[in-house]
Structure 1
Amino acid sequence: MICRTLKAATAAGALALIAGLPSAAMAQEVTQLRWATSATGSTGYAVKVDLMTILNREWSGYNITVLPTAGAVASVRGYALGEFDGYYGADVAFAELADDSGRFRDFRAHMEREPVQSFWAYTMEVGLAVRADDLDEYDGWGGLAGAPVFTGPAPWDVRAQLERAMAAVDVGHDYTEIDLSIAGSSLNEGTIDAFIAYTSGQTSVAPWVNEAMLSVDTAILNPTDEERAQIEAAGMEVVAVPAERFDTDIGVDEAHFVPFFYGFHLGPEVPEEDLYEMLTIIQAKSEELRAANAAFAQVDEDMVELQRRGVAASGGSVPVHPGLARFLQENDAWDEAWDDWVYR
């Protein structure tokens, strides 16, 4: 009896082991993705965690770990050096990478692989705030020529985009770096004549900007129509952010800001079919993503159009992932002029 019981138990154990083999094999097939983003506590980190939560649940075959870095540029560098599988990158950073300039000066010689664009998550929009009493003295951005201006902390993408837009209208200002906490008082005291103001998704004002604008009587200095045309001729957009998005009077009915695009990107190591599937999941779950984080508002409102705008803004500075190209093609949003931009 004992012998028969032992044999039965052994047989049952063997069957359980055999039955468990497919699950073990499937577990081994899961690809681990080390996806870098900006620092813990930043918008980029919070948004990536919310995205990861849904993708880990819905995207079969992949498991994502979010890795904070010093910032978006650090994540792009890390991917190019083979340290990460995914990264948090902006079109303005990709432009510098392509030119081997700015924050990526002399970096290309050290790259192990080329970053590509694969998913655009939201825009950030940049402009200028000045003393409210001085607003009528300026004729657009050109009135700041030679003036001390804080365009943002040196390593930040928002500063890079504002400097790029100001260069398009040839505003040769004096960059003056200050601590974010004293931006308002520095403007009030005349240490600077303007500082960067920016929003996310044409909706929310950056907290430190909001605090600075509440601490001193400020106004938004819009570019003139001619300057706007020059910015657009340089390959950038100009969008209108309603005055009610701000917590204080901005002196104008709407702020004319220059957007750039932030995305969470994966390289061609992720096959076209899989990346395409990821994008369709994001589109299908866009309402849930928006509920988790308001930064996904643009994804929820028009996922396809956001991807189209992001690719257009990149100007082919880095290749387009084949999965993103397919997503746009199947949604009738692909421009044949971009065919040469697709990663081969």
Structure 2
Amino acid sequence: MTSNSNHKAKGRVSRRTVLQASAGLGVVGLAGCLGDGGETVTVGASSDGSASYGAMNALQRSVSNHAEDAQLNITAPGGDPDSIRAYDAGELDGYTAGNFVFNQALDDGEPFDEEPVDDFAYQALSYLSLHMHWLAVDGSGVESIEEAIDDDDLNIWVGPPGWGLRTLCTSILDDAGLWDDIEDPVDVASEDVAAQIDEDRIDVFFGYGTNFNSLPGWLVEADSREDLYALEMGDDYVEAIESSEAGYAEVEPYGYDQDIDADEIQCWTEDYNTYFASDVDDEVVYEIMEISHEHWEEIQEADDNYMDQSDPADMAQYYHENIPVHPGAADFLEDNDAWDDDWERGD
């Protein structure tokens, strides 16, 4: 087996096909061979410090421990949009992405409106669901996100530039008529949030829990160092969430070591899938799915943000409608009585 340097030379499927078939396809040629005939698959997973990156690295370790045909190489392009762009440029064999950002890429929405992408990979594995909510530092003196934005003395963090979650957050703020009122949002990486709070440079920020289980590492640090409390959302904000492509939920707080002063927190939600190029071998994708199913507890020991994969049906619970499923993933789901005939199998 030889490795090709650019997937666009291998029968690239363009945006026209996406629009005609309501399906995003991609062909990639980076996948390289191991000595025993196995395949190394390079996948972009957001940015270092994100829940997505941590979860995929935990999966990568279990694949290394148990696979015969597959090896994962997880990289951090800088965010979901950058992962999708790197795939489109032929630099990756696959990527992870939240459903909101993936739809933005399909529809040439922000941040793809000025630089659209043409190639899309097949969906394979659902693995992450986030519950995003607003938090304030003790002493901020506000009870809702609307009050926080109306207070010019408070510094607000809406996620680092490049994150798909930032685009989702600002889109909802804009729909709620609030984004233009944040004159100077704090622009720092997630791993710097706790330090910025220490230095009185962040007063209000959004955090998220993962899979009803835990918090990402950067928020664990802020939780351990700062006194925090949850903010409420007004009716217009909730309506903006419900009108967006995000979900809305009210959930009991989880993952925090402190009381964030709320019996329930109001959340906007985002779900994540992995995507693999059509020329990634079917057996490789099948084996990755199988390892995620059989060894999910081991994966959770490495990163407790990883989703419970004991039920094969849950491994496809965040699929997009009308987006082809990688044949290797389809075979796995069929073999485990979890295939839905309404889904489309990729070529």
TM-score for the superposition, normalised by structure 1: 0.71
Distance 1:215 1:162 in 2: 25
Deviation (angstroms), 1:51 = 1.5
Matched, 1:129 2:135: yes
Aligned counterpart for 2:39 among listed residues 31, 36, 52? 31
Equivalent position of 1:5 in the other structure: none
Alpha-carbon contact 1:184-1:215 (below 8 Å) kept: no
Equivalent position of 2:159 in the other structure: 152
Equivalent position of 1:307 in the other structure: 316
Distance 1:230 1:88 in 2: 26
Aligned counterpart for 1:82 among listed residues 90, 93, 101? 90
Aligned residue identity for 2:316: Q
Q: How does 1:224-263 map to 2 (within 5 A)?
A: 224=234, 227-228=237-238, 230-243=240-253, 245-263=255-273
| Gap change, CA 1:247 and 1:82, over 3 Å in 2 | same
Deviation (angstroms), 1:178 = 4.3
Aligned counterpart for 1:177 among listed residues 177, 182, 186? 186
| Gap change, CA 1:124 and 1:325, over 3 Å in 2 | same
Equivalent position of 1:290 in the other structure: 300
Aligned residue identity for 1:280: E
Distance 1:335 1:150 in 2: 43
Gaps of 5+ in 2: 1-32
Equivalent position of 1:8 in the other structure: none
Aligned residue identity for 2:308: V
Alpha-carbon contact 2:129-2:271 (below 8 Å) kept: yes
Deviation (angstroms), 1:216 = 5.6
Distance 1:194 1:143 in 2: 11
Q: How does 1:7-22 map to 2 (within 5 A)?
A: none
Matched, 1:104 2:117: no
Distance 1:155 1:162 in 2: 12
Aligned residue identity for 2:68: S
RMSD of aligned alpha carbons: 3.7
Distance 1:28 1:322 in 2: 23
Alpha-carbon contact 2:43-2:94 (below 8 Å) kept: yes
| SS of residue paired to 1:103 | coil
Matched, 1:120 2:129: no
Aligned counterpart for 1:52 among listed residues 34, 51, 60? 60
Deviation (angstroms), 1:231 = 2.2
Matched, 1:65 2:70: no
| SS of residue paired to 1:95 | helix
TM-score for the superposition, normalised by structure 2: 0.71
Distance 1:168 1:301 in 2: 38
Q: Which structure has the larger Rg over C-alpha atoms? A: 1
| Gap change, CA 1:62 and 1:132, over 3 Å in 2 | closer
Q: How many residues align?
A: 305
Aligned residue identity for 1:87: Y
Q: Deviations over 1:243-268 (max 9, x none)?
A: 35323332211222222123433122
Distance 2:53 2:101 in 1: 18
| Gap change, CA 1:68 and 1:149, over 3 Å in 2 | closer
Alpha-carbon contact 2:78-2:163 (below 8 Å) kept: no
| Gap change, CA 1:177 and 1:41, over 3 Å in 2 | closer
Alpha-carbon contact 1:31-1:62 (below 8 Å) kept: yes
Residues 100-109 or 253-262, more deviating: 100-109
Decide which structure has greater helix share.
1
Distance 2:85 2:60 in 1: 21
Alpha-carbon contact 2:94-2:275 (below 8 Å) kept: yes
Aligned residue identity for 1:96: Q
Aligned counterpart for 2:279 among listed residues 264, 269, 288? 269
Equivalent position of 2:18 in the other structure: none
Aligned residue identity for 1:156: W
Identical positions, percent: 21
Deviation (angstroms), 1:280 = 2.9
Equivalent position of 1:321 in the other structure: 326
Equivalent position of 1:19 in the other structure: none
Gaps of 5+ in 1: 1-24
Alpha-carbon contact 1:144-1:171 (below 8 Å) kept: no
| Gap change, CA 1:207 and 1:135, over 3 Å in 2 | farther
| SS of residue paired to 2:87 | helix
